[in-house]
Amino acid sequence: MSRTCELTGKRPMVGNRVSHANNKTKMRQLPNLQSKRIWVPEFASFVRVRLSTRALRSVAKLGFVPYCRKVGIDPATFRSRGA
C-alpha cells in the first residue's frame, strides 16, 4: 500500500538533509497518515480510509461526504470498504 492520503493525495516529499559541513544526504518526509473507520450517516455504515491528519480534521469538521465532494472525489467509491 502506497503512503498516499486517499482524499488529499499527499505523498512523501524528497529533499536533502544538510549537515553543518554542508554534506547533503537524501531524505524522505512522510505524510502523517492514519487508518480510520469513519461513520458515514449518508451510507448508514462505516468506511475505512487512510487519511492524513489534516484531511482527518477537515472530515471531522465538514463531514465525510461534503469533504469528498469538495476535493472532487465520488464518495461512493469508499462505500464498499466498511466493516
| pLDDT tens digits for range 57-75 | 999 999 999 999 999 999 9
Q: How far is CA 45 from the centre of its chain?
A: 20
pLDDT at position 81, please? 74
**Which of helix, strand or coil describes residue 25?**
strand
pLDDT at position 50, please? 96
What would the mean pLDDT of 21-46 be, rounded to a whole number? Answer: 96
Q: Name the average pLDDT for the chain.
A: 94
pLDDT at position 80, please? 76
| Rounded (10°) angle between helices 53-62 and 64-71 | 120
The reported pTM is 0.82
pLDDT at position 82, please? 64
- Say which CATH superfamily domain 13-78 falls into: Ribosomal protein L28/L24 (2.30.170.40)
Q: Nine-digit cell at 8? A: 488529499
| CB-based burial label for 48 (10 Å; 0-12, 13-18, 19+) | middle
Q: How far apart are CA 56 and CA 60, in angstroms?
A: 6
pLDDT at position 79, please? 83
Identify which has the larger pLDDT, 2 or 15. 15
pLDDT at position 64, please? 96
